[in-house]
Structure 1
C-alpha cells in the first residue's frame, strides 16, 4: 500500500483483523469503546457531496446525583489548501473561507458548539520556505481582519464558538507577526486571542524568522459551553505547556497543528492523549492534510537536495479523554470533520479517581525549577 492511499490505521485494522480480536485490539489501542454519534442524514449527505470525511463519537461520564451531565459538542476541521501556492493571496484566502465555511455548515447541522480549525488555516504552511514574500501578506489583524470578520459571521449565524488560528499582524506593535488563535464567542464577538508559546527550530520548522514566542501566556477562555485553551502546534511537545492551560482551568485544550509524516507521525497519537490523562481534561488534536508545492526550491538543513514541498501532512485529527480513551482519527489523506460529544463531568470524575493534581507536589517542582534556571545551578547528583 502506498503512502498516498493509506487512509487510516482504523480502516486497515477493520479490513484485516478478525472481528473477535478487533474489539480487544481497539480496547488496548484506544481505551473504552466509544458509541458512534448518530449524525443527521442531511449532514452525512452534505459531507459526501462536498467530499470530506465525517465521523462522530460520544464520550460519556457516569451519572451523578448532584450534577446534571455537562454536554458539549466539539468539531475539528482538517483540510488541504484549495488553490496552488502561487495563486493570488486574496484568492487563496477566499477559497479557503469558502471550503471551511461549507464544512462549518455541516458542523452546525451536527449540533457542534465549539469548532476549531487547523494551524494557519487561511494559507499554505509556507514557513518552511524561509521566504518572506508573499507569505507575510497572509497576516491579518486578530480583531478586525478579513478572517476574523468571516468567523464572527459564522459564530453568530450558527451559535457556535469558533477557534481560528491565523498568522496575525499586530499593527499596534509595529506590524509584528504572531502565530495566533483567535477565539470568537457564539455571540459573534471576539472573546480574545492566544499566541503560540513554543516556536520550533527543527529543520524546515525554523519559524522564528516569521514570528517569535507568544506573550499571552496560558489564557483560558470561558465560553458558554465550557472553559477552553489553545495549545498551538509545537506546544504539544512540551508537557508543561499543556499543564499550565489545565492549571488555569481548561476543560478542553485544542491543539491546532501542521505537521508532516517524516517528522512526527509516530508521536502524534501519543502526545495529546497523554496530556488528557495527565491533566484531567479533554484534548483535541487537529492536523492539516495534503502536500503543498512551492515554486522555489528550499532545503531542510538535513543534507538532502533542495525540494519543492515540505512533505505530506497526515491529518488523523482526534479527541482524547482524561480516562485514557480516544476517538478514532480522521482520514490521513482527505479533508474531514470530526464531531465529538463530551460530558465534561468526566474530567472531575477521573481527577477524583487518580488524583494526579492532588498528588502533584507542585511546590517541590516550583522550588527546583526556580533553582534550575539560574546560572549558578548545580544538579542534585550524589557521587561516591
Structure 2
C-alpha cells in the first residue's frame, strides 16, 4: 500500500453518554471534523459507543462479531463512516459477544478507508483495582472477558500500527512485544479515571513512546458520565522522542490533530538504536 511520510492523525476525545445512538451521532461529527482537517487516521476512545449508568449496560448492546444484516449497528456505523469519509478508523472499544452470556469482549476494531475491517484486538489487561486513598474501585472482569495474549500489529499506509487499550499502558512488556513486531505507531484508546489520569496519564504515555521509539496516539474519555465516573481527558499524541505534540485541553468532545514525520522517526531510531541494544529477551 502507498506510504504516507507525514500523515495527519486524529485522537478523538469524547464524553460518551449512556445510550448508543447519541454517541454514534457524536462520533460521526467528530470523525467528519477530523477528516475535514486532513486526518487520514482517526482513533476513537475506549467505550466510545457507551459509557452506561451500570457496568452491565454493555451486555444489552453487545454485538456478534461481524457487520451486516442490521444486527450490528455499531460495526455497521464504523464501516460505513470509514468508507464515506475515506478515513482509517481505530474504533476504541466496543462490546462484542463472548461465549459467556454475562460477559463480553472489549474489542478494538480497525477499519481501512474503504470500510473494510482489517484488525481486531481484545483488551488483554482488565482493570480490577481499588485506588489508593480512595473509595474508587473497579472490576472489569465482572463484565469483560480478557483477550488472548497475542499482540496485534497491522500494516497501514502510515506504518505498522500496534493495538492496546487503556490499562495496557501499565504493562511495558506488551508494548515491547508490539515494537519487536515492527510497530511504528501504537494506539491506546482509553477511559482513564480522573484520579489515575491526574497521577499517571502523561508519564505512562510518554514512557511507552520513549521506550519503544514509537508514536503513541492516546484518545481518552473526558468529564462526567452516567455512572458518576469522571474520566481525565487530556487526549495525547506523543512522538517517538517522548514529546507531547498534541493534547486536548478540555473535559469535552474534542479532536486533537498531529502531523507525524515518519522520516524523523526513522532518523531517531537510526541515531539512537536502543531497540537493538536489548540484552534481555
Q: TM-score, normalised by structure 2?
A: 0.89
Q: Give 1:125 shift.
A: 5.4
1:260 paired to 2:193? yes
Q: Which one of the candidate residues 255, 258, 271 is aligned to 2:204?
A: 271
Deviations 1:230-263 (A, max 9, x none): 2100000111111111111111111111012223
Deviations 1:331-369 (A, max 9, x none): 2422110111111122221111221111111xxx33xxx
- The structure richer in helix per residue is 1
Structure 1 partner of 2:243: 325
Q: Give 1:324 shift.
A: 2.5
Structure 1 partner of 2:13: 78
Q: Over aligned residue pairs, what C-alpha RMSD do you find? A: 1.9
Structure 2 partner of 1:351: 269
SS at match of 1:215: coil
1:250 paired to 2:173? no
How many angstroms apart in 2 are the aligned matches of 1:256 and 1:350? 25
How many angstroms apart in 1 are the aligned matches of 2:110 and 2:58? 23
Structure 1 partner of 2:218: 285
Deviations 1:151-200 (A, max 9, x none): 111111121111112333336x4555111101111121111201111112
Alpha-carbon contact 1:71-1:341 (below 8 Å) kept: yes
Q: Give 1:216 shift.
A: 5.7
Aligned ranges 1:185-200 → 2 under 5 Å: 185-200=112-127
1:337 paired to 2:264? no
1:136 paired to 2:59? yes
Structure label with greater radius of gyration: 1
Task: Give the length in aligned residue pairs.
Answer: 268
How many angstroms apart in 2 are the aligned matches of 1:196 and 1:180? 6
Segments of 5+ residues of structure 1 without an aligned counterpart are: 1-67, 86-91, 295-308, 367-384
How many angstroms apart in 2 are the aligned matches of 1:125 and 1:276? 31
Alpha-carbon contact 1:195-1:216 (below 8 Å) kept: no
Deviations 1:76-102 (A, max 9, x none): 1111124xx3xxxxxx21111111101
Q: Which one of the candidate residues 20, 31, 34 is aligned to 1:93?
A: 20
TM superposition outliers: structure 1 runs of 4+ over 4 Å = none
Alpha-carbon contact 2:4-2:157 (below 8 Å) kept: no
SS at match of 1:102: helix
Q: Give 1:279 shift.
A: 0.5
